[in-house]
Structure 1
Protein backbone atom coordinates (compact mmCIF):
# COMPACT_ATOMS: atom_id res chain seq x y z
CA UNK A 1 0.00 0.00 0.00
CA UNK A 2 1.30 3.47 -0.93
CA UNK A 3 0.64 6.57 1.14
CA UNK A 4 1.75 10.07 0.13
CA UNK A 5 2.72 13.12 2.12
CA UNK A 6 1.27 15.45 -0.48
CA UNK A 7 -0.50 15.97 -3.77
CA UNK A 8 1.12 18.13 -6.46
CA UNK A 9 -0.82 19.33 -9.48
CA UNK A 10 1.08 20.69 -12.48
CA UNK A 11 -1.22 22.64 -14.77
CA UNK A 12 -0.67 24.00 -18.27
CA UNK A 13 -3.16 26.87 -18.57
CA UNK A 14 -3.80 28.05 -22.16
CA UNK A 15 -5.92 30.60 -23.96
CA UNK A 16 -5.87 33.33 -21.33
CA UNK A 17 -6.15 37.06 -21.99
CA UNK A 18 -2.84 38.97 -22.29
CA UNK A 19 -3.94 41.81 -20.00
CA UNK A 20 -5.08 39.43 -17.27
CA UNK A 21 -1.83 37.41 -17.27
CA UNK A 22 0.25 40.60 -17.34
CA UNK A 23 -1.47 42.27 -14.37
CA UNK A 24 0.50 41.40 -11.23
CA UNK A 25 -2.27 42.55 -8.89
CA UNK A 26 -4.94 40.51 -10.70
CA UNK A 27 -2.73 37.40 -10.87
CA UNK A 28 -2.01 37.71 -7.15
CA UNK A 29 -5.70 38.17 -6.35
CA UNK A 30 -6.71 35.07 -8.32
CA UNK A 31 -3.95 32.95 -6.76
CA UNK A 32 -4.79 34.05 -3.21
CA UNK A 33 -8.50 33.43 -3.79
CA UNK A 34 -7.74 29.98 -5.23
CA UNK A 35 -5.90 29.07 -2.03
CA UNK A 36 -8.80 30.34 0.07
CA UNK A 37 -11.35 28.53 -2.12
CA UNK A 38 -9.51 25.26 -1.41
CA UNK A 39 -9.61 25.97 2.33
CA UNK A 40 -5.89 26.60 2.69
CA UNK A 41 -4.32 28.79 5.37
CA UNK A 42 -2.20 31.53 3.74
CA UNK A 43 1.18 32.30 5.30
CA UNK A 44 3.02 34.53 2.76
CA UNK A 45 2.44 36.01 -0.67
CA UNK A 46 5.17 37.15 -3.08
CA UNK A 47 4.63 38.25 -6.70
CA UNK A 48 6.87 39.96 -9.25
CA UNK A 49 6.06 41.73 -12.55
CA UNK A 50 8.64 41.27 -15.31
CA UNK A 51 9.49 43.70 -18.09
CA UNK A 52 8.33 43.79 -20.82
CA UNK A 53 5.70 41.25 -19.66
CA UNK A 54 5.03 38.30 -17.40
CA UNK A 55 4.32 37.61 -13.75
CA UNK A 56 5.77 35.08 -11.32
CA UNK A 57 4.53 34.46 -7.83
CA UNK A 58 3.96 32.13 -4.96
CA UNK A 59 1.33 31.82 -2.27
CA UNK A 60 2.83 29.97 0.66
CA UNK A 61 0.18 28.08 2.57
CA UNK A 62 0.40 26.06 5.77
CA UNK A 63 -0.27 23.01 3.59
CA UNK A 64 2.56 23.89 1.08
CA UNK A 65 2.21 26.32 -1.88
CA UNK A 66 0.64 27.59 -5.09
CA UNK A 67 3.04 28.97 -7.72
CA UNK A 68 2.67 30.55 -11.16
CA UNK A 69 4.68 31.95 -14.05
CA UNK A 70 2.86 33.66 -16.92
CA UNK A 71 3.71 34.24 -20.57
CA UNK A 72 1.02 36.81 -21.48
CA UNK A 73 2.20 37.04 -25.08
CA UNK A 74 1.33 33.34 -25.46
CA UNK A 75 -1.82 33.41 -23.33
CA UNK A 76 -0.14 30.76 -21.19
CA UNK A 77 0.53 30.18 -17.48
CA UNK A 78 2.46 27.39 -15.80
CA UNK A 79 0.83 26.66 -12.44
CA UNK A 80 1.56 24.27 -9.64
CA UNK A 81 -0.54 23.56 -6.59
CA UNK A 82 1.06 21.44 -3.86
CA UNK A 83 -0.87 20.48 -0.74
CA UNK A 84 0.00 18.22 2.15
CA UNK A 85 -2.50 16.45 4.35
CA UNK A 86 -6.12 15.60 3.66
CA UNK A 87 -7.86 18.87 4.57
CA UNK A 88 -7.11 20.88 1.40
CA UNK A 89 -7.95 19.53 -2.06
CA UNK A 90 -5.54 20.93 -4.67
CA UNK A 91 -8.09 20.35 -7.43
CA UNK A 92 -10.39 22.94 -5.84
CA UNK A 93 -7.63 25.54 -6.22
CA UNK A 94 -6.76 24.39 -9.74
CA UNK A 95 -10.38 24.61 -10.90
CA UNK A 96 -10.72 28.07 -9.38
CA UNK A 97 -7.57 29.21 -11.21
CA UNK A 98 -8.83 27.92 -14.56
CA UNK A 99 -12.03 29.91 -14.15
CA UNK A 100 -10.26 32.97 -12.74
CA UNK A 101 -7.84 33.16 -15.68
CA UNK A 102 -10.70 32.42 -18.11
CA UNK A 103 -8.63 29.63 -19.64
CA UNK A 104 -9.76 28.10 -22.92
CA UNK A 105 -7.98 24.86 -22.00
CA UNK A 106 -6.13 23.34 -19.07
CA UNK A 107 -3.96 20.24 -19.07
CA UNK A 108 -3.37 19.23 -15.45
CA UNK A 109 -1.77 16.18 -13.87
CA UNK A 110 -1.48 15.11 -10.27
CA UNK A 111 1.64 13.56 -8.77
CA UNK A 112 1.77 12.04 -5.31
CA UNK A 113 4.76 13.45 -3.41
CA UNK A 114 6.68 11.80 -0.59
CA UNK A 115 5.26 8.36 -1.22
CA UNK A 116 5.82 6.03 1.68
CA UNK A 117 5.78 2.29 1.25
CA UNK A 118 4.48 -0.10 3.86
CA UNK A 119 7.23 -2.58 2.93
CA UNK A 120 10.84 -1.71 2.11
CA UNK A 121 11.44 -1.04 -1.59
CA UNK A 122 14.60 -1.49 -3.59
CA UNK A 123 16.52 1.75 -3.85
CA UNK A 124 15.98 3.30 -7.27
CA UNK A 125 18.69 5.97 -7.25
CA UNK A 126 22.17 5.94 -5.75
CA UNK A 127 23.31 9.38 -4.69
Structure 2
Protein backbone atom coordinates (compact mmCIF):
# COMPACT_ATOMS: atom_id res chain seq x y z
CA UNK A 1 0.00 0.00 0.00
CA UNK A 2 1.46 3.35 -1.06
CA UNK A 3 0.97 6.43 1.11
CA UNK A 4 1.67 10.10 0.46
CA UNK A 5 2.28 11.11 4.07
CA UNK A 6 2.14 10.57 7.80
CA UNK A 7 0.35 13.05 10.05
CA UNK A 8 0.83 12.86 13.82
CA UNK A 9 -1.84 14.66 15.86
CA UNK A 10 -0.92 14.92 19.53
CA UNK A 11 -2.70 15.97 22.72
CA UNK A 12 0.09 16.69 25.25
CA UNK A 13 -0.86 17.06 28.93
CA UNK A 14 1.03 17.88 32.11
CA UNK A 15 3.43 20.15 30.22
CA UNK A 16 5.67 22.82 31.77
CA UNK A 17 3.62 26.07 31.72
CA UNK A 18 6.78 28.23 31.58
CA UNK A 19 7.87 26.54 28.36
CA UNK A 20 4.36 26.68 26.90
CA UNK A 21 4.17 30.47 27.26
CA UNK A 22 7.68 31.19 25.91
CA UNK A 23 7.44 31.77 22.14
CA UNK A 24 11.23 32.04 21.71
CA UNK A 25 11.85 28.76 23.53
CA UNK A 26 9.11 26.99 21.59
CA UNK A 27 10.61 28.22 18.33
CA UNK A 28 14.02 26.88 19.41
CA UNK A 29 12.47 23.53 20.33
CA UNK A 30 10.57 23.25 17.06
CA UNK A 31 13.60 24.18 14.94
CA UNK A 32 15.71 21.58 16.72
CA UNK A 33 12.91 19.03 16.32
CA UNK A 34 12.88 19.66 12.57
CA UNK A 35 16.64 19.12 12.48
CA UNK A 36 16.36 15.89 14.49
CA UNK A 37 13.52 14.76 12.22
CA UNK A 38 15.64 15.47 9.14
CA UNK A 39 13.21 18.07 7.81
CA UNK A 40 14.21 21.20 5.90
CA UNK A 41 12.67 24.37 7.38
CA UNK A 42 11.32 26.82 4.79
CA UNK A 43 9.47 29.30 7.00
CA UNK A 44 8.51 29.91 10.64
CA UNK A 45 5.86 31.95 12.39
CA UNK A 46 5.15 32.16 16.12
CA UNK A 47 2.53 34.30 17.82
CA UNK A 48 2.29 34.98 21.59
CA UNK A 49 -1.24 35.58 22.80
CA UNK A 50 -2.15 37.90 25.66
CA UNK A 51 -2.25 37.04 28.46
CA UNK A 52 -0.99 33.49 27.75
CA UNK A 53 -0.50 30.92 25.03
CA UNK A 54 1.49 30.54 21.85
CA UNK A 55 0.74 29.29 18.35
CA UNK A 56 3.68 28.35 16.19
CA UNK A 57 4.19 26.88 12.75
CA UNK A 58 7.16 25.59 10.83
CA UNK A 59 6.67 25.07 7.12
CA UNK A 60 9.11 22.37 6.11
CA UNK A 61 9.87 21.03 2.65
CA UNK A 62 8.20 17.81 3.75
CA UNK A 63 5.03 19.58 5.07
CA UNK A 64 4.67 21.20 8.55
CA UNK A 65 5.16 21.10 12.31
CA UNK A 66 2.79 23.13 14.51
CA UNK A 67 2.07 23.79 18.17
CA UNK A 68 -0.75 25.57 20.00
CA UNK A 69 -0.41 25.99 23.78
CA UNK A 70 -2.60 26.58 26.82
CA UNK A 71 -0.05 27.17 29.63
CA UNK A 72 -2.77 27.62 32.26
CA UNK A 73 -3.90 24.05 31.53
CA UNK A 74 -0.44 22.54 30.95
CA UNK A 75 -1.73 21.48 27.53
CA UNK A 76 -0.31 21.63 24.01
CA UNK A 77 -1.73 20.52 20.67
CA UNK A 78 1.11 19.39 18.41
CA UNK A 79 1.02 18.31 14.76
CA UNK A 80 3.85 16.83 12.74
CA UNK A 81 3.02 16.07 9.11
CA UNK A 82 5.47 14.79 6.54
CA UNK A 83 5.12 13.57 2.99
CA UNK A 84 8.76 12.48 2.72
CA UNK A 85 9.64 8.88 3.53
CA UNK A 86 13.23 9.85 4.42
CA UNK A 87 12.30 12.21 7.27
CA UNK A 88 11.83 11.05 10.87
CA UNK A 89 8.61 12.63 12.21
CA UNK A 90 8.54 10.28 15.22
CA UNK A 91 11.98 11.53 16.34
CA UNK A 92 10.87 15.16 15.96
CA UNK A 93 7.74 14.50 17.98
CA UNK A 94 9.61 12.63 20.71
CA UNK A 95 11.98 15.58 21.10
CA UNK A 96 9.14 18.13 21.29
CA UNK A 97 7.27 16.15 23.96
CA UNK A 98 10.35 15.81 26.14
CA UNK A 99 11.27 19.48 25.78
CA UNK A 100 7.80 20.76 26.74
CA UNK A 101 7.79 18.39 29.72
CA UNK A 102 4.71 16.39 28.74
CA UNK A 103 3.63 13.85 31.37
CA UNK A 104 1.14 12.26 28.99
CA UNK A 105 0.52 12.27 25.25
CA UNK A 106 -2.37 10.86 23.24
CA UNK A 107 -0.96 10.33 19.75
CA UNK A 108 -2.92 9.72 16.57
CA UNK A 109 -1.04 8.71 13.44
CA UNK A 110 -2.90 9.29 10.20
CA UNK A 111 -1.48 7.56 7.17
CA UNK A 112 -2.64 9.97 4.46
CA UNK A 113 -2.99 9.80 0.72
CA UNK A 114 -3.56 6.07 0.40
CA UNK A 115 -4.59 5.52 -3.21
CA UNK A 116 -7.47 3.14 -3.83
CA UNK A 117 -7.71 1.04 -6.99
CA UNK A 118 -10.26 3.48 -8.46
CA UNK A 119 -7.85 6.44 -8.14
CA UNK A 120 -9.51 7.98 -5.07
CA UNK A 121 -7.60 8.60 -1.85
CA UNK A 122 -8.29 7.67 1.75
CA UNK A 123 -6.44 7.49 5.06
CA UNK A 124 -5.83 5.06 7.92
CA UNK A 125 -5.81 6.01 11.62
CA UNK A 126 -3.91 4.52 14.56
CA UNK A 127 -3.95 5.97 18.12
CA UNK A 128 -2.00 5.25 21.30
CA UNK A 129 -1.01 6.83 24.62
CA UNK A 130 2.48 7.58 25.93
CA UNK A 131 3.96 8.94 29.13
CA UNK A 132 7.10 10.73 27.88
CA UNK A 133 8.45 11.68 31.33
CA UNK A 134 8.09 8.13 32.64
CA UNK A 135 9.78 6.68 29.55
CA UNK A 136 12.69 9.10 30.00
CA UNK A 137 13.18 7.83 33.57
CA UNK A 138 13.29 4.21 32.40
CA UNK A 139 15.94 4.80 29.72
Is TM > 0.5 for Structure 1 vs Structure 2?
Answer: yes
Q: What is the alpha-carbon distance in structure 1 between the residues aligned to residue 108 and residue 88 of structure 2?
A: 14
Match for residue 64 of structure 1?
A: 63
Deviation of 1:123 after TM superposition, in Å, equals 9.1
Among 104, 108, 120, which residue is 2:118 paired with?
Answer: 120
Q: What is the alpha-carbon distance in structure 2 between the residues aligned to residue 10 and residue 3 of structure 1?
A: 21
1:30-109 map, 5 Å: 30-109=29-108
Deviation of 1:122 after TM superposition, in Å, equals 8.0
Runs of 4+ aligned structure 1 residues displaced above 3 Å come to 121-124
Q: What is the alpha-carbon distance in structure 1 between the residues aligned to residue 26 and residue 50 of structure 2?
A: 16
Match for residue 2 of structure 2?
A: 3
Deviation of 1:17 after TM superposition, in Å, equals 1.4
Structure 1 residues not aligned, in runs of 5+: none
Tell which deviates more after alignment, 83-92 or 71-80: 83-92
Q: Which has the higher contact order (CA 8 A, sep 6+)?
A: 1
| CA offset digits 1:91-114 (Å, max 9, x no partner) | 111101111111111111100111
TM-score (norm 2): 0.83
Q: Is the contact between residue 40 and residue 62 of structure 2 (CA under 8 Å) also seen in structure 1?
A: yes
Structure with higher Rg: it is 1
TM-score (norm 1): 0.90
Distance 1:47 1:123, change over 3 A: closer
Deviation of 1:121 after TM superposition, in Å, equals 6.8
Q: Is the contact between residue 21 and residue 69 of structure 2 (CA under 8 Å) also seen in structure 1?
A: yes
